Structure 1
Amino acid sequence: MNLSDTFYIGYVTKTRGLKGELQLFFEFEDYMDLDFDVLFLEVNKKLVPYFVDSIKLQKNSTAYLNLEDVDHIDKAQPLVKRKVYLPNDKMPERDPDDFRYTDLVGFLVIDEHEGELGEITNVQELPQQFIATVDFQGKELLFPLNEELILDIDMEEEIIEVELPEGLVDLYREV
């Protein structure tokens, strides 16, 4: 299995107990919709398959899992901090109308007053709101994603038009 045949879902954060149980942290948004019969862990730049004996999904983007043949903490410990992948055919289908702010990564940001700012490189979810990171003249420009600032989103052209608060872009120019 090659990396191109899989998609990234998260990583192993730690062991739990002495019987080889692992904690998995999900960086994949729809982790509750995934099918976990086999996981691929990245070991020495290769994907190694592990069959799942049991998994308990938690609401905080984590899961506790037991893998076949990993029945002791000594076997589980080398798997900590390993990236976890699933085959592409396990990717859950999303409704085309199901839009999320994280879908804006890669979109070009155009401000009404400042013009073209750059491409969105990351979208973070904070407790109160989503924050977009834009590659602006070699620096990271951050701004909140909310309906008051967004004027238009062109899904075809991958362009987002915004009206950022006065002076925000100037702060990043001066740094």
Structure 2
Amino acid sequence: MKKEEAFYVGYFTKTKGLKGELQLFFEFDDYEKLDFDVLFADMNGKMVPFFTASHKLYPNSTGLFFFDDLDHVDKAQALVKKKVYLPLDKMPERGEDEFTYFDLEGFTASDETHGELGEIIAVNEYPQQFIATVLYKKTEIMFPLNDDIIVEIDDEEETILVNLPEGLLDVYLT
């Protein structure tokens, strides 16, 4: 499986006990709805499958997992801090009225001060925030997607109006 065929779920934070149990921190909102029979860890750019023997989910966006063939803490330690993915076909169905920042990919971004910036070519989720990437004047620029920056989203016209912090574009263009 390739990374493009998967969606990001979270990352392994630590091992627990001596039998290879791993704690997974979820950065996916509806993690309770996911199917965990197999998880894919990004191991140096390769998506490596790990088959779940058992798991327990907690309300603090974490879960504890035992995997087949990981029967010792030393084997599990190699997965700590690795990003975890699931295949796209395991993504829960969303209602028509559910809109996420990832849906902004392909939208045309405009700034209140600088006018049209260009098409959002990528939306990435980082701890604490989402970041949009736009090709502006042949240079990739990035800006956070949050209530302080976003002025308006028109999902029918596929446009987003933002109010970028003063000097942000200068960082990329100088």
C-alpha distance in 2, partners of 1:88/1:142? 25
- Alpha-carbon spacing, 1:116–1:25, altered in 2? closer, same or farther (3 Å): same
Runs of 4+ in structure 1 off by over 6 angstroms are none
Equivalent residues, number:
166
Note the C-alpha offset of 1:9: 1.7
Indicate conservation of the 8 Å contact 1:117/1:134, yes or no.
Answer: no
Indicate conservation of the 8 Å contact 2:131/2:142, yes or no.
Answer: no
Q: Which has the larger radius of gyration?
A: 1
- Alpha-carbon spacing, 1:78–1:95, altered in 2? closer, same or farther (3 Å): same
- Alpha-carbon spacing, 1:29–1:70, altered in 2? closer, same or farther (3 Å): same
Gaps of 5+ in 1: none
> Which letter does structure 2 place at the counterpart of 1:117?
L
Identify which range, 11-20 or 41-50, moves more after superposition: 41-50
C-alpha distance in 1, partners of 2:76/2:61? 20
Indicate conservation of the 8 Å contact 1:55/1:66, yes or no.
Answer: yes
Q: Where does residue 172 of structure 1 map in the other structure? A: 168
Note the C-alpha offset of 1:46: 3.2
Note the C-alpha offset of 1:116: 1.3
Q: Where does residue 87 of structure 2 map in the other structure? A: 87
Note the C-alpha offset of 1:86: 1.8
C-alpha distance in 2, partners of 1:132/1:81? 21
Indicate conservation of the 8 Å contact 2:101/2:130, yes or no.
Answer: no
Note the C-alpha offset of 1:35: 0.8
C-alpha distance in 2, partners of 1:160/1:66? 43
Q: Percent identity?
A: 52
Q: Where does residue 62 of structure 2 map in the other structure? A: 62
Q: Where does residue 96 of structure 2 map in the other structure? A: 96
Identify which range, 105-114 or 73-82, moves more after superposition: 105-114
Indicate conservation of the 8 Å contact 1:101/1:145, yes or no.
Answer: no
C-alpha distance in 1, partners of 2:154/2:86? 31
Note the C-alpha offset of 1:64: 1.1
Report matched runs for 1:148-159 at 5 Å. 150-151=151-152, 153-159=153-159
C-alpha distance in 2, partners of 1:76/1:70? 6
Normalising by the residue count of structure 2, what TM-score does the alignment of the two structures yield? 0.72
- Alpha-carbon spacing, 1:143–1:7, altered in 2? closer, same or farther (3 Å): closer
- Alpha-carbon spacing, 1:64–1:156, altered in 2? closer, same or farther (3 Å): same
Note the C-alpha offset of 1:71: 1.9
Query: Helix, strand or coil: the match of 2:78?
Result: helix
Query: Helix, strand or coil: the match of 1:71?
Result: coil
CA-based RMSD of the aligned residues comes to 3.3
Q: Where does residue 26 of structure 1 map in the other structure? A: 26
C-alpha distance in 1, partners of 2:43/2:98? 34
C-alpha distance in 1, partners of 2:31/2:116? 35
C-alpha distance in 2, partners of 1:21/1:30? 22
Q: Deviations over 1:11-45 (max 9, x none)?
A: 22211121211011223232111011112223354
C-alpha distance in 1, partners of 2:83/2:126? 20
> Which letter does structure 2 place at the counterpart of 1:172?
L
- Alpha-carbon spacing, 1:118–1:58, altered in 2? closer, same or farther (3 Å): farther
